[in-house]
Structure 1
Amino acid sequence: MIPTESALQQVLEWGRSLTGFADEHAVEAVRGGQYILQCIQPSLHDISARTGRDPQDEKLIVAFYCELALLFWLDDCNDLGLIAPEQLAAVEQALGQGVPCAVPGFEGCAVLRASLAALAYDRRDYTELLNDTRCYCAALRAGHAQAAGAERWSYAEYLHNSIDSIAYANVFCCLSLLWGLDMATLRARPAFRQVLRLISTIGRLQNDLHGCAKDRAAGEADNAAILLLQRYPAMPVEDFLNDELVGHARMLHRVMVKERFPAPWGPLIEAMAVIRAKYYQTSISRYGNDAAGGGQRAPA
């Protein structure tokens, strides 16, 4: 696999054309991207005879890392106000439609989308990636607006929206686009769509449980645990959400055993089920639990 430092420098070079892009966005993207690719390397090698896509292809790997970095950056644009609202709206339009950004300072958006369009093994994956990006941006925007408003969502409404804001669909779709994982065909299967929702729910609940203390200290309300505590102050929220996690994990396991999706979806789903814990252990500045640390609701 491409050396870490080389990959990091290439992602940073691409990110310099995005206003507000920070070293952290590239670092976390490479860290998480490497973990995912290492987990599915054997499967990617097995299917390379069919796809002709080399798991070690530097161009493909860097494109994947850039997409992950983009997701981290977009998350912070919403949470930390890295760019003005009108700039963010233009960025979302560009990324969701695959067109150049209408305002200066975001040339990297068009560069990445053009690169992924050209690299797509299956053009349907590129179309789906644009749609997934629109869903991700809309969920981030809706969650931020709801948390700042007077009316609080129910737990069900919060979870429905926040599943999209975890961005796992973008991660999977980008992998499929680059290495020919046939996600566009699999999306037609109800069981596969169920798996996407379940693994995204697991990621969201893991994230909210881990970040609850920090979010409360920062006055952040876009968190399942905080929302439930606001509505039901005496509720054992942590126990409830941990039970939810266990239940969703059991449901996910049953579907995966029954359906037996083609490689590399088994090891990929397994990797995503534990990737949050990997980030919590290695990305202290972003995912640390001390109240003075940075935000921790980024994707992947």
Structure 2
Amino acid sequence: MKKHLAMIILPALFWAGCDSTAWQADTGATLAGSDASGEGRAASDSLRGVDTTSPDPLADGRSADNSNGGDASTSDLAALDAASTDAAVADGMDHDGSDSSSSCPNGVCPPVANVCVLACATPADCVYAGTAPGGIYDEDSWVCNSGRCAHLGCLSDAECSAQPGLDYASMKCVMVSGGYKSCLAACSAPGDCPHPSRVDSPLYGADNYECKAGVCSYIGCHSDAECQEGISGTALAWVCSSALYGFPICSTPCTTPSDCTYLAGNPIFDADNYACDLGICRHLGCQSDAECAEAYSATGLSYLCAESFMTR
């Protein structure tokens, strides 16, 4: 069985530009380029095989592409921890390419959400079967911190080019958060930023991006209608809101945490894994190692609850 990374590799949120947080965007589609087959992405995606070549602008960490709400099976763990992790690959993070802890939108950084990660004794334990040599998930891309896998990010532009699934004409390994580097799509204009697999999505058109310092920067949703059209297959309500982060992302409105749950029986998405902040759902991540063990029991792999997917 292949090891699946229970950590989002991207633009995770897609907010890796914020040094003090693990932004809650859909890590399901927050990878700007993890292997399109589901390899090398966070558990939320690798376990369900959805395409996550672009970051989804979700505020609560849900997987917008999850069409099986209520199904807590392994194949649909959905954003799971990944929903609240930092990612190593991005085509649209909000960042300025600098190593700044104040690069969160409007200087507002949400609390870090915990994430389920693979247990390890050495960095080799963090590498899944079939990892592309020279890519961003081989052994030199990991460290084992206190028995938990932590990703170092990309190490060079060459690694980004070698990573399967990053289907942009050009990728750059850019500093996005406190020493952490991520693969970002290179650009000369916003039209270079929509991923080939997402060109028809109302949430990932050229008008949803800026080209800043030669790399793509996702600027968010433009309206509730855009969110509702762009996110299908769920019974959840979606609004385009800047309430939590001062940055427009598709969010689920709430009055209590119970309004935020959508995977019945999944211990990572119970009401105790959410907060209702300013009327918007915010995923808090895993609460214990036991939650991760239960959520990923069908994989046969050992997962633990960690503060972050990436090394800071």
Task: Note whether the superposition's TM-score is higher than 0.5.
Answer: no
Answer 1 or 2: which has greater strand percent: 2
Larger radius of gyration: 1
TM-score (normalizing by structure 2) = 0.28
Answer 1 or 2: which has greater helix percent: 1
